[in-house]
Amino acid sequence: MEYATLGNSGVEVSEVGFGAWVVGTDWWGDRTRDDAIDMVQHALAEDVTFFDTGDVYGHGDSEEIIGEALAEHRDEVTVSTKIGYDFYNNPQAGHGELPKKVTPEWVHTAVDRSLDRLGMDHVELLMLHNANVDEVDEDVLEALDELREEGKVDAIGWALGPSIGWLAEGDAAVANEFDALQTVFNLFEQTPGQHFIDTIREQNADTSVLARVPHSSGLLNEQVTPETELGKGDHRSHRPSEWYETGWEKVEEIRFLERDGARTMGQAAIQWLLYNDEVASVTPTFRTNADIDEWAGAPDTPPLSDEEYDRVQELYRDNFGIDRDDGMDALRSSVGGADLEETGMKSAGD
Closest by CA position to 165, among listed 328, 331, 283: 331
- Residue 327: its pLDDT value, please? 63
Is it the case that residue 71 has pLDDT exceeding 80? yes
Residue spans per domain, the chain: 9-341
45-59, 80-94, 137-151, 191-205: range with lowest mean pLDDT: 80-94
56 against 127, higher pLDDT: 127
Secondary structure (3-state) at 165: coil
pLDDT at 244 over 80: no
User: pLDDT, tens digit, for every residue of 253-270?
Assistant: 999 999 999 999 999 999
- Please give the mean pLDDT across all residues of the chain: 89
Confidence of residue 27 (pLDDT cuts 50, 70, 90): low
Q: Report the C-alpha gap between 64 and 41 in whole angstroms.
A: 14
Is the separation of the CB atoms in 187 and 254 below 8 Å? yes
Is residue 98 predicted with pLDDT exceeding 90? no
pLDDT (tens digit per residue) in 316-330: 999 998 888 766 666
pLDDT tens-digit series, residues 132-178: 999 999 999 999 999 999 999 999 999 997 666 689 999 999 999 99
pLDDT range class, residue 340, cuts 50, 70, 90: confident
> Do you know the residue count of the chain?
350
Query: pLDDT category, 239, cuts 50, 70, 90?
Result: low
Whole-number Å distance between alpha carbons of 122 and 184: 26
Task: Write down the CATH number for the domain with range 9-341.
Answer: 3.20.20.100
Q: Is the pLDDT of residue 237 over 70?
A: no
Q: How far is CA 192 from CA 93, 122, 339, in A?
A: 28, 31, 10
Banded model confidence at residue 26, pLDDT cuts 50, 70, 90: low
Contact 100, 83 (CB under 8 A): no
Write down the pLDDT at residue 235.
57
Distance CA 296, CA 55 (A): 25
C-alpha to C-alpha distances, 324 to 239, 243, 321, nearest whole angstrom: 16, 10, 10
Is 238 a residue whose pLDDT tops 90?
no
The pLDDT of residue 22 is: 81
pLDDT of residue 234 exceeding 60: no
Question: For the packed helices 138-149 and 104-118, what is the interaxial angle rounded to 10 degrees?
Answer: 40
Query: What pLDDT sits at residue 30?
Result: 67
Burial of 287 by CB count in 10 Å (0-12 exposed, 13-18 middle, 19+ buried)? middle
Answer yes or no: are the C-beta atoms of 8 and 20 closer than 8 Å.
no
Which residues touch 102 (CB under 8 Å, ≥6 apart)? Answer: 84, 128, 131, 132, 135, 136, 140
Q: What is the pLDDT of residue 242?
A: 78
